[in-house]
């Protein structure tokens, strides 16, 4: 872990800023768009696939889990088309006796998220994004050890395309 920290510090620019991978920049832009709704529908927009360690509900998780890379030029450095899989997960507690309203609540979250994360809105945050598309949406109910409902999760998977150069994943074409 210390080596990773040294490597990241070694990537610092003259201004003292750490260089960020394009994935991080995109995830930050998505979180910025979603934070417009914090205080409305959600308590927190959390940028990790790992559950938030405190009892704060409802909240959103924003994370990337896959990126496909394709060479699109023959000259060095090679231009690359990158296709990023980004997930937005709405985490909501299910109060006892309110199990029938969970579907409606999750659909309301989906409506809000889809309204905020449009191709046009994302390009407004980062004009280097080629496209942003919603690929899938799924809802699950998670049970605890006692087989009682713990919480519900709405997972929305987006595909985001952008271009960068080989060896320079911190910049956009």
The gap from C-alpha 73 to its chain's centroid, in whole angstroms, comes to 28
Q: What is the pLDDT of residues 106-153, one digit of tens each?
A: 898 999 999 999 999 999 888 889 999 999 999 998 888 888 888 899
What is the rounded average pLDDT of the residues 28-56? 84
Q: How is residue 141 written in tokens?
A: 């109910």
Spatial separation of the C-alpha atoms in residues 82 and 69, rounded to whole Å: 5
pLDDT of residue 11: 43
Q: What is the pLDDT of residues 60-119, one digit of tens each?
A: 999 999 999 999 999 888 999 999 999 999 998 888 777 778 888 889 899 999 999 999
The gap from C-alpha 138 to its chain's centroid, in whole angstroms, comes to 15
Domains of the chain: 20-165 (3.30.70.1700)
């Amino acid at each position: 872990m210390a080596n990773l920290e040294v490597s990241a510090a070694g990537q610092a620019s003259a201004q003292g800023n750490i260089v960020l991978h394009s994935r991080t920049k995109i995830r930050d832009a998505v979180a910025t768009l979603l934070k417009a709704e914090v205080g409305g529908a959600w308590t927190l927009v959390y940028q990790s696939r790992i559950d938030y360690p405190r009892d704060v509900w409802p909240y959103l998780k924003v994370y990337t889990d896959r990126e496909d890379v394709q060479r699109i030029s023959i000259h060095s450095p090679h231009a690359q088309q990158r296709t990023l899989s980004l997930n937005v997960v709405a985490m909501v507690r299910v109060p006892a006796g309110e199990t029938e309203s969970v579907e409606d609540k999750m659909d309301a979250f989906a409506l809000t998220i889809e309204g905020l994360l449009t191709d046009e809105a994302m390009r407004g945050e980062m004009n280097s994004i080629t496209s942003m598309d919603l690929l899938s949406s799924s809802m699950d109910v998670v049970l605890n050890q006692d087989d009682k409902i713990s919480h519900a999760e709405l997972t929305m998977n987006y595909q985001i395309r952008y271009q960068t150069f080989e060896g320079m994943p911190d910049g956009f074409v």
